[in-house]
């Protein structure tokens, strides 16, 4: 099973120094999880001024119990860098994703861009709107994946095998204006499937992550 962990850093004046002090332990933990195939993407979430606001990690684990136990073993959680987190079920779309930073065929250094976290509406017709937008959403996604502008993405269900209630999509785009321009042509926006959208800067560290689902991930 796949999961997205969205963790929030404290934003007090001393938070950046605490994160930097704990960073060697966190990087070691990331490398351990990557080597074991438990972690397939790891990125800090950033403000426009490059101050870190938290972390975005995509895990591949046996079940929800394994995910529930995971955050407590993270050094950033143990040292209070993360002041809160949420673990979401995640279904990575089976697309030919570009190899991630650190894998053969991917960037040799960190990959920079933006992450979209979108929540669907909570009304009774929300699921129907998502399904109606889905064919056009994937038709638009395919060339962006091929060009490497969309680095991964998938749906967030409300429970295992439950209805889809949102999406997480990391993008390799030069600035927020480009991301917002992309959203103006996004069927999930135009057809009101996505109703609460957050855009954040992000950076994938160069690690030998295991491949994402899809033919491109095997490179």
Model confidence pLDDT, tens digit, residues 111-152: 889 999 999 998 999 999 999 999 999 999 999 999 989 999
pLDDT digits (tens, 9 = 90+) for 82-98: 999 999 999 999 899 98
Indicate which CATH number applies to the domain containing 95. 3.30.70.1060
pLDDT number for residue 160: 61
Confidence tier at 70 by pLDDT (50, 70, 90)? very high
Tell me: pLDDT of 14 over 80: yes
Domain span holding position 164: 2-218
Exposure string of 23-50, with b = 16+ CB inside 10 Å and e = fewer, is: eeebeebbeebbeeebbbbbbbbbeeee
pLDDT at 217: 42
Give pLDDT, residue 215.
46
- Determine which of 31-40, 41-50, 159-168, 195-204 has the lowest per-residue pLDDT on average: 159-168
Residues 54, 132: Cα–Cα separation, whole Å: 33
* Domain count for the chain: 1
117 pairs with which residues across the strands? 168, 198
Does the pTM exceed 0.85? yes
Sign of the four-CA dihedral 36, 8, 5, 218: negative
| Residue of 201, 105, 114, 180 whose CA lies nearest to 151 | 114
Structure confidence at residue 75 (pLDDT): 95
pLDDT band at 218 (very low <50, low <70, confident <90, very high): very low
């Amino acid at each position: 099973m796949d999961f997205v962990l969205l963790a929030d850093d404290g934003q007090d004046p001393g938070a950046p120094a605490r994160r930097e002090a704990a960073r060697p332990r966190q990087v070691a933990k990331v490398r351990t999880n990557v080597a074991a195939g438990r972690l397939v993407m790891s990125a800090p979430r950033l403000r426009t001024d490059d101050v870190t606001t938290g972390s975005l990690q995509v895990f591949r684990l046996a079940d929800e119990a394994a995910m529930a136990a995971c955050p407590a073993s993270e050094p950033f959680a143990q040292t209070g860098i993360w002041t809160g987190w949420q673990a979401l079920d995640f279904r990575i779309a089976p697309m030919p994703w570009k190899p991630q930073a650190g894998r053969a065929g991917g960037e040799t250094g960190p990959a920079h861009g933006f992450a979209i976290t979108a929540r669907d509406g909570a009304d009774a017709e929300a699921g129907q709107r998502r399904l109606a937008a889905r064919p056009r959403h994937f038709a638009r996604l395919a060339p962006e994946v091929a060009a490497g502008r969309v680095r991964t993405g998938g749906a967030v269900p409300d429970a295992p095998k439950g209805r889809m209630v949102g999406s997480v999509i990391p993008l390799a785009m030069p600035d927020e204006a480009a991301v917002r321009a992309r959203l103006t042509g996004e069927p999930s926006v135009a057809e009101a499937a996505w109703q609460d959208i957050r855009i954040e800067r992000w950076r994938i560290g160069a690690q030998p992550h295991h491949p994402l689902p899809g033919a491109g991930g095997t490179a």
